[in-house]
């Protein structure tokens, strides 16, 4: 019985460590220059010739949903997609 309890605690501890390691990746702050670089790359991938694109890369960064106004990586990706 004690061995099972110990293994459960070890599993829970490992799960918490994974969460702490994964969380900063998506929620880290993104500088304005990084956001614009991402939007420019996405626009170039989509339209190849940026002069013929119907929107500018900076327009891709305008949030269309309330939750996308944050300055983290996930919100930036949501705006650009």
User: Does the structure show a pLDDT above 80 at 34?
Assistant: yes
pLDDT confidence bin for 1, thresholds 50/70/90: low
CB 76 within 8 A of CB 60: no
Overall pTM > 0.75: no
Q: Which residues contact 69 (CB under 8 A, 6 or more apart)?
A: 63, 75
Write down the number of H helices and E strands in the chain: 4, 0
Instruction: List Cα–Cα distances, 79 to 2, 49, 54, in angstroms.
Output: 50, 21, 16
The tokens 């019985």 sit on which residue? 1
Q: What is the per-residue pLDDT across 37-72, written as a single tens digit (0 to 9) for each? A: 989 988 988 888 889 899 999 999 999 988 888 888
Pick 27 or 51 by higher pLDDT.
51
* Band of residue 81 on the pLDDT scale cut at 50, 70, 90: confident
d(CA 23, CA 25): 5
């Amino acid at each position: 019985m004690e061995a099972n309890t110990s293994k459960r605690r070890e599993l829970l501890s490992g799960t918490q460590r994974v969460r702490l390691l994964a969380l900063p990746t998506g929620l880290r702050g993104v500088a304005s220059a990084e956001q614009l670089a991402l939007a420019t790359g996405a626009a170039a991938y989509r339209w190849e010739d940026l002069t013929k694109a119907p929107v500018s890369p900076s327009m891709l960064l305008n949030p269309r949903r309330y939750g996308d106004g944050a300055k983290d990586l996930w919100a930036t990706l949501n705006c650009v997609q």
